Structure 1
Amino acid sequence: MANIQTRVGGSPHVSTLSRYDTLTSPFLERQTPFNAWEAFKLVLLFPLAIPRLILGVSAVFVLAGMSFIAAHGWPIEKPMPPWRRNMVKASRHCAGFILLMLGFHIKVTGWKNVAEARRVRALGLFNHSSWVDAIAMMWLFAPSGVSRASNADIPVVGTCIRSFQNIYIPDDKLAREPHKQPASNASPMSNGNMNGDVAGTGGSVAKPYSQLIQERVDDRRFPMLMMAPEGTCGDNRCILHFRTGAFVPGVPVLPVLLKYRFKHHNPSWIIINVGWEFMRLMCQFYNRLDIDILPPYIPSSVEARNPAFYARNVREVFSTHMGLPQVDQSHVEFKSLERSGVHMSWDGRRLLAPEGLLQDGRFIDLQPFTKKSK
């Protein structure tokens, strides 16, 4: 990982779009190619994966049913009465069963810090590298989340998450270039990536994104709010650029560090063949996830007034505790790379790209593809 481009000092996000290095990209998986050992496991474990998959899918439908009952006829932007919220809390055990069927062995440390986080109404933050992250957060906290609006329309999954009363962000807002946003002297309600942006909570009147976050954090009738400040998934080798939205309210945050300990298969949700990678995940002897919950981070008065400064300092905490470098890439680079058609071969051994696109066999100009994503 030493050769991947990292942030220097406290400098703002600098785009790598004009000469993007595919060799060190956190969105292209090169760490765990398919080999003879993986083929052997596939043959050996695939018969066992089928009943696990059936049981896991059954748990998803049970979760969806419980979520539907808990949320039916209730405005998603209003705190739930106890019986509805208790059903949501009970449904988190379905998430735990799904993780078990996926073969995950999970170690959680620092659980004692959650009580203090709830006392100070901290906003939960976790690093994002896999679709498994969301299931793990549901299992641990049964929290509200911040999600892209399109997730609410996914069959079954949209029903599963409705009772968690997520804040939904329009997908096009996530595609904005973070380095074009004002980096300092932003007020809590007019930060660069919030100003004029609106979000909804499933049928409610749209409000500024920052206002919804502030209201959720202040109202103790709501569950803890969890966010992934990176805004997209990386490959579990680095910490991506932090968007400042979570830091606009200037409230304490609870860092939740997720580290997938893998040797043969990386579960990261990047530019992959979803079906193939899911099958590989199911055909491992076990998958390991370590979750470390740090003490709440209480911002100074300077950090509370400057979301970008606050974000950089919390990002440093994630980087230091996880022993991972900080990489100034974001959802912008991910979507641009995806649109370019560059991807790894099915076995993870060769980089594939449209003819004439790569420079020197590894670099690509992503700027034309970024314009398409706006």
Structure 2
Amino acid sequence: MESNTQKPAAVQPESDAHPLLKPDPETPNPRSISAVSNPTIEEEMENKYAAFVRRDVYGTMGRGELPWPEKFLLGLAVVFLVPIRVAAAAYILVFYYLICRICTAFLAPNREDGGQEDYAHIGGWRRAVIVQSGRFLSRVLLFVFGFYSISETNRGFNADGQFDTQFTTEEEERPGVIVSNHVSYIDILYHMSSSFPSFVAKRSVARLPLVGLISKCLGCVYVQRELKSSDFKGASVVVSERIREAHMNKFAPKMMLFPEGTTTNGDYLLPFKTGAFLAKAPVLPVILRYPYDRFSPAWDSISGVRHVIYLLCQFANYIEVTRLPVYNPSEQEKEDPKLYAENVRRLMAHEGNLVISDIGLAEKRVYHAALNGLLSER
């Protein structure tokens, strides 16, 4: 069904009149970047890799020099707050694992080509318990991590065809996939608490203790790069099939994709991969922001361990969520996934007040290597 919803005029992904960052003719060498340590080089790096620059009080890579009051508060949190949160999170994880174990007892997982297996296609009370308890416990886990309240806005269209933050309506079509900007691993917990969708994950996740079974109950699509046999169905094909299934069948598990492919500092929107748009189904765009005063929950240029510790040490964290109307692709967008992806990206950037960036995961790795080189020289 085609929607009459007004959308921004179609644009070609290749043309960008005002690109934020123009790619260099050659990929920069991390060693050459880190060879010179001076303010000029650092300023150039911050301009070039702006989407990954960390600007909170903890400084570059979370390794900046902290004032004594901040160190004192951090020490108190490590001693008193972090143990409580870690224990509570572990209890919630084990408790939900037991729920999933009971609900999947004596059942064989749904199996697809390429070794895909999940429990997301079971029905009845088992699926209801898995989904409802999963959503509730995900929200409890967010509360444990300091996300006590979440600001959520549903946007619709007013009579003039313009976005109206106060207007909501029943969706004309069920979206095949939810697409969201990617800022932190906390994004996953939020989406689990909101809609309990299926994600794309590495195959190794399915074998992890506790988390492996939970990922199968979510219906995750596993990426298995090591399989090259002729009967192996690539992850993109499986994802497209699952998106079509979710679009056509309201009882099918929802799909959730982060088309940027990596995390940013939350102020930028990277180029979208086309995986979420190949199925030609409507998408539901969701925009996440993490306001902060001291520590930014964005997982940009900081190590995972350091990020988790600082996040648990911060007493209160915040999420702002904006849901846009379901985006129904035009015939031109259906035939051109890159155009479809680019138009959705520009819409999300406009409505979320995000800056469009031309860099991606490759540049992020170069930036991290350069930062490590600069910091190691000090």
Same fold? TM cut 0.5:
yes
Show CA shifts across 1:179-198 (max 9, x none). xxxxxxxxxxxxxxxxx970
> Match of 1:140?
194
How far apart are 1:156 and its partner, in Å?
A: 2.7
How far apart are 1:266 and its partner, in Å?
A: 1.5
Instruction: Return the letter of the residue paired with 2:95.
Output: V
Take 1:288 and 1:172, find their aligned partners in 2: how far apart are those partners? Answer: 39
Take 2:96 and 2:155, find their aligned partners in 1: how far apart are those partners? Answer: 24
> Match of 2:46?
23
Instruction: Return the letter of the residue paired with 2:27.
Output: S
> Match of 2:109?
74
How far apart are 1:132 and its partner, in Å?
A: 0.3
1:52 aligns with one of 80, 85, 98: 85
1:159 aligns with one of 186, 210, 213: 213
Q: Secondary structure at the match of 2:307?
A: helix
Show CA shifts across 1:285-315 (max 9, x none). 3101111111111111111111101111110
Show CA shifts across 1:186-223 (max 9, x none). xxxxxxxxxx97029xxxxxx55433433343333212
Take 1:29 and 1:70, find their aligned partners in 2: how far apart are those partners? Answer: 42
> Match of 1:331?
361
Instruction: Return the letter of the residue paired with 2:140.
Output: F
Instruction: Return the letter of the residue paired with 1:199.
Output: A
Alignment of 1:223-302 (within 5 A): 223-302=253-332
Instruction: Return the letter of the residue paired with 2:287.
Output: L
2:235 aligns with one of 199, 205, 208: 199
Are 2:192 and 1:124 equivalent residues in the alignment?
A: no
Aligned length: 314
> Match of 2:126?
84
Shift in CA distance, 127/117, structure 1 to aligned 2, threshold 3 Å: farther
The TM-score with structure 1 as length reference comes to: 0.74
Is contact 2:155-2:325 (8 Å) kept? no
Take 1:118 and 1:64, find their aligned partners in 2: how far apart are those partners? Answer: 36
Is contact 1:342-1:353 (8 Å) kept? no
> Match of 1:32?
57
Take 2:233 and 2:300, find their aligned partners in 1: how far apart are those partners? Answer: 26
> Match of 1:193?
none
Q: Secondary structure at the match of 1:267?
A: coil
> Match of 1:94?
137
How far apart are 1:43 and its partner, in Å?
A: 2.3
How far apart are 1:277 and its partner, in Å?
A: 2.0
Q: Which stretches in structure 2 are left out of the alignment for 5+ residues?
A: 1-14, 30-43, 59-63, 111-116, 157-166
Shift in CA distance, 91/158, structure 1 to aligned 2, threshold 3 Å: same
Shift in CA distance, 115/134, structure 1 to aligned 2, threshold 3 Å: farther
Instruction: Return the letter of the residue paired with 1:157.
Output: V
Instruction: Return the letter of the residue paired with 1:352.
Output: L
Are 2:161 and 1:107 equivalent residues in the alignment?
A: no
Shift in CA distance, 153/353, structure 1 to aligned 2, threshold 3 Å: farther
Instruction: Return the letter of the residue paired with 1:40.
Output: F
Shift in CA distance, 74/319, structure 1 to aligned 2, threshold 3 Å: same
Q: Secondary structure at the match of 2:266?
A: coil
Take 1:246 and 1:114, find their aligned partners in 2: how far apart are those partners? Answer: 24
Take 1:353 and 1:10, find their aligned partners in 2: how far apart are those partners? Answer: 35
Show CA shifts across 1:14-55 (max 9, x none). 755624863242335344325224313212333123112211
Q: Secondary structure at the match of 2:356?
A: coil
Instruction: Return the letter of the residue paired with 1:61.
Output: V
> Match of 2:74?
42
Shift in CA distance, 107/351, structure 1 to aligned 2, threshold 3 Å: farther
Q: Secondary structure at the match of 2:91?
A: helix
Is contact 2:173-2:326 (8 Å) kept? no
The TM-score with structure 2 as length reference comes to: 0.73
Q: Which stretches in structure 1 are left out of the alignment for 5+ residues?
A: 1-6, 174-195, 201-206, 345-349, 356-374
> Match of 2:41?
none
> Match of 2:159?
none
Q: Secondary structure at the match of 2:143?
A: helix
1:220 aligns with one of 239, 250, 253: 250
Instruction: Return the letter of the residue paired with 1:315.
Output: R
CA RMSD of aligned residues (A): 3.3
Instruction: Return the letter of the residue paired with 1:74.
Output: P
Shift in CA distance, 209/277, structure 1 to aligned 2, threshold 3 Å: closer
